[in-house]
Amino acid sequence: KRNMKTKAGQEAPAHPSRCPDPSAFKQQKLPAWKPQLSLASVLSCFFVIGAACLAVGICLILSANSVREIQINYSEKCSDCTKLRENSSNWNKECYCSADFMLKEDMLGDVFMYYGLQNFYQNHRRYVISRSDAQLLGRDVNVQRSYCTPFTTYPNGTPMAPCGAIANSIFNDTIDLFYNVNSSVIQVPLLKTGNSWWTDKNVKFRNPVAHNLSSAFAGTARPPYWQKPVYMLDEEDERNNGYINDDLVIWMRVSAFSTFRNLYRRVSRTRQFAVGLPAGNYTFRISYNFPVSKFKGKKYVILSTVVWSGGSNPFLGIAYTVCGAAATLTGFVITAIHLKLRKKKTYFQK
């Protein structure tokens, strides 16, 4: 193109072009696959996707329904202990209660024990951030500069280990299971380790490096709500103490809903429990410490088996079934519209 001239007869400077470079990529001329959608291909996709989702959804629902589960609300059965825990001055007084139940059928396979809480909002913004991940990794940090406030230090300046509202409010009820058979009482062996996620136990939580845990946590104090320091959480297994204690690790993974359950123990498959829990009469013996009446909550203890799809949670199966039904229904609607329009077209051509 010729350059434009000004009134004085001088050539004006040429402006750079804003057009993309004449390359195949910038001009969108690269080889591409452009599918030609036809009625047969569209309907085939809808019906195949619908059938697949329906099949998977039905399998998941049947699998979830095959899970054996028993749930007991022990906050109502332990009403005396509930009233005792309403007064915070009774924190050092022990309170025990029991809950009897009967298994009508055997619970075969691995049996898991959960504790459930209702109306406990772990998803509150200030509660979720009230922790120090650096401290839980075993590092020497200044907790006063963390988000643990107000659970950082005591008035004398002693830091809390671990700090924060999440750790301070840890679930601390002790639940034991007994099997009543032939006028005798047998305690069911429960496993307290191996219940947390591998990534949590081996990546996100570490104990401070020291000769022993008591010296590692020297100069720190337990959170106000705790009855034991962090290095004495499990007096039977030294490897299950400190920040890598399974109960602490599981509790620190907060729930997104106000009603939730956490894995507490697994039944050890030994002796008469080698194949699971046999049918019969059982008793939960509970050391009641965790108060729930102030926030109008409830506590549950759950025994459950698992299947290939997990525990008793039908949500995924229902979701697949709904999606499959929607895709199949859409396919039928498109077919009906096509047949109706084809009849009209045939009528006008005649």
pLDDT tens digits, the chain, 350 residues: what are they? 445 454 455 555 566 677 888 888 888 888 888 888 888 889 999 999 999 999 999 999 999 888 999 999 998 888 888 888 888 777 778 899 999 999 999 999 999 999 999 999 999 999 999 999 999 999 989 988 889 989 999 999 999 999 999 999 999 999 999 999 888 999 999 999 999 999 998 899 999 988 888 899 998 999 999 989 999 999 888 889 999 999 999 999 999 999 999 999 999 999 889 999 999 999 999 999 998 988 889 999 999 998 888 888 889 999 999 999 999 999 999 999 988 887 776 655 55
CA distances from 281 to 100, 107, 180, 299 (A): 7, 13, 5, 21
Would 123 be classed as within a structural domain?
A: yes
Cα dihedral sign, 138-141-144-148: negative
CA distances from 288 to 158, 171, 222, 299 (A): 29, 10, 20, 10
Cα dihedral sign, 52-54-59-63: positive
Q: Which residues contact 314 (CB under 8 A, 6 or more apart)?
A: 60, 61, 64, 65
Q: What is the model's pLDDT at position 2? A: 45
Q: What is the model's pLDDT at position 29? A: 84
Would 22 be classed as within a structural domain?
A: no
Structure tokens at 93: 């007084």
Distance CA 121, CA 166 (A): 11
Residues 208 and 324 in one domain: no
Residues 193 and 321 in one domain: no
Contact (CB, 8 A) for 204 and 139: no
Contact (CB, 8 A) for 319 and 211: no
Would 225 be classed as within a structural domain?
A: yes
Q: What is the model's pLDDT at position 12? A: 53
β-bridge mates for residue 244, sequence order: none
Contact (CB, 8 A) for 103 and 279: yes
Q: Is 214 left (phi over 0), alpha (psi -120 to 50) or beta?
A: alpha
Cis peptide leading into residue 224 (ω within 30°): no
Residues 103 and 76 in one domain: yes
Residues 195 and 315 in one domain: no
- Number of alpha helices (DSSP H) and beta strands (DSSP E) in the chain: 10, 11
Would 58 be classed as within a structural domain?
A: yes
Residues 174 and 242 in one domain: yes
Would 88 be classed as within a structural domain?
A: yes
Would 89 be classed as within a structural domain?
A: yes
Residues 207 and 266 in one domain: yes
Residues 163 and 297 in one domain: yes
Q: What is the model's pLDDT at position 20? A: 82
Q: What is the model's pLDDT at position 346? A: 61
Residues 283 and 294 in one domain: yes
Residues 134 and 62 in one domain: no
Distance CA 168, CA 130 (A): 10
Torsion (CA) 160, 163, 166, 167 in degrees, nearest 10: -50
Would 28 be classed as within a structural domain?
A: no
Q: How far is CA 8 from the centre of its chain?
A: 78
Would 33 be classed as within a structural domain?
A: no
Residues 299 and 321 in one domain: no
Residues 262 and 314 in one domain: no
Residues 320 and 226 in one domain: no
The total domain count for the chain is 2
Distance CA 61, CA 73 (A): 25
Q: How far is CA 218 from the centre of its chain?
A: 33
Distance CA 204, CA 256 (A): 19
Range of the domain at 322: 43-67+310-330
- Selection from 262, 292, 254 nearest residue 115 by Cα: 262
Q: How far is CA 347 from the centre of its chain?
A: 60
φ/ψ of 274, rounded to 5, equals -65, -30
